[in-house]
Amino acid sequence: MEIKGVQIDDTFAEAFPIKVARVLITAIDERWALAAAREATGFGTSVIGCPAEAGIECAVPASETPDGRPGVYIQICNMGYKNLETSLLFRIGQCVLTAPTTAVFNGLPGAEKQFDTGKKLKFFGDGYEKQIDYLGKKFWKIPLMSGDFVIDETIGAVDGIAGGNFYILGDNQAAALTAAEVAVDEIGRLKGTITPFPGGIVASGSKVGSKYKFLKASTNTAYCPSLREDGTCALPLEVKAGYEIVINGVSREAIEESMRAGIRAACTVPGVLKITAANFGGKLGPHQFKLLEIMK
């Protein structure tokens, strides 16, 4: 298959199960909603070495939030619910409650799994916290120097998927990077997924395992152009650089939609030669996202 002259490999992205919590942060304006969201999702690229995988899902206008203020959806992901609960408590408590004018709403109110995050954060109020009825639900109001911090009593979580991915291969670094940027921008318009790496882009595409037994993952040598001379690199001569887009989401459908949108956007950039994906023979996880099926 080709899209705008770009070859789409007949392959699949291999992904794995993960627990996903979804949070809506609102503030007096988008600047402060984004500031809190960025802090709360920091150091969250991969569970290989981070305490959680986290990222900004999308920004939403005031017309789409419960309190009529600009908002940003974020997702926080962990391998188990226990660690996820801890991540929520620390990240909201340290990074959102501390940001000017913010409020927190449950991004998955219909989920079966609910954490009492707001109820636990109330203790910061030192006895002056109050439970309130707001928008027909239970919230906690915590007094701060600048006013009150309001948070939903519970935050929902679901069984999601992490590691949906595609590789963008270009005939020069600038083309591959530009294509990755426009792909991430397009994915950022959608709801239900995050691209947790810096700027949404992975420079360090990895493989499962390593020659060093203490490492869980290592650089994907078959896709490193500088290793071409010794025969390790499997890329065609015309490919000079590649970037990976990794996608986590609340559902398979959401990840497929984001992969489709991102790949289409990447294929519009001159210099992009090929779109492929990373898979490891089932060593990473049970979920397969077949590129040709998705792009049909």
Mean pLDDT for the chain overall: 97
- Regarding whether 230 and 108 lie in a shared domain, the answer is no
Residue 285 and residue 166 in one domain = yes
pLDDT of 180 > 90? The answer is yes
Pair (86, 127) in one structural domain:
yes
In the chain, the largest separation of any two C-alpha atoms, in whole Å, equals 67
Asked whether residue 281 carries a pLDDT value surpassing 90, the answer given is no
Examine the fold and report which residue of 157, 180, 206 is the final residue of a domain before the chain moves on. 157
CATH at 83? 3.30.70.520
Average pLDDT over residues 9-25: 98
Distance (Å, whole) CA 115 – CA 71: 21
* pLDDT > 70: percent of the chain: 100
Specify whether 6 is located in the same domain as 23: no
Q: Look up the pTM and report it.
A: 0.96
168 lies in the same domain as 240: yes
Give residue-wise pLDDT tens across range 253-263.
999 999 999 99
Do residues 129 and 223 both lie within one domain? no
210 and 150 within one domain: no
pLDDT per residue over 202-242, tens digit each?
999 999 999 999 999 999 999 999 999 989 999 999 999 99
* Residue spans of beta strands (DSSP E) within 145-219: 147-152, 155-170, 193-194, 206-208, 217-219
Average pLDDT value for residue range 115-142:
97
Q: How far is CA 86 from the centre of its chain?
A: 18
Q: 60-80 pLDDT, tens per residue?
A: 999 999 999 999 999 999 999
pLDDT at res. 282: 86
Number of domains in the chain: 2
Percent with pLDDT over 90 in the chain: 97
Residues 6+ apart with CB under 8 A from 136: none
Average pLDDT over residues 89-103: 98
With beta carbons less than 8 A apart as the criterion, state whether 259 and 251 touch: no
Residues 254 and 132 in one domain: no
Say if residue 134 is in the same domain as residue 228.
no
For β-strands 155-170 and 241-249, DSSP reports them as: antiparallel
Segment 86-104 shows an average pLDDT of 98
Pair 111, 153 in one domain: yes
Last residue of a domain, one of 101, 126, 157: 157
Under the banding of pLDDT at 50, 70 and 90, the label for residue 269 is very high
On whether both 120 and 166 belong to a single domain, the answer is no
Taking Cα atoms as reference points, which of 125, 127, 51 lies closest to residue 91? Answer: 51
| Domain end among 100, 122, 157 | 157
Q: What is the pLDDT of residue 35?
A: 98
Same domain, 173 and 226: yes
Domain containing residue 213 = 2-14+160-295
Nearest to 48 by CA among 162, 154, 127, 148: 162
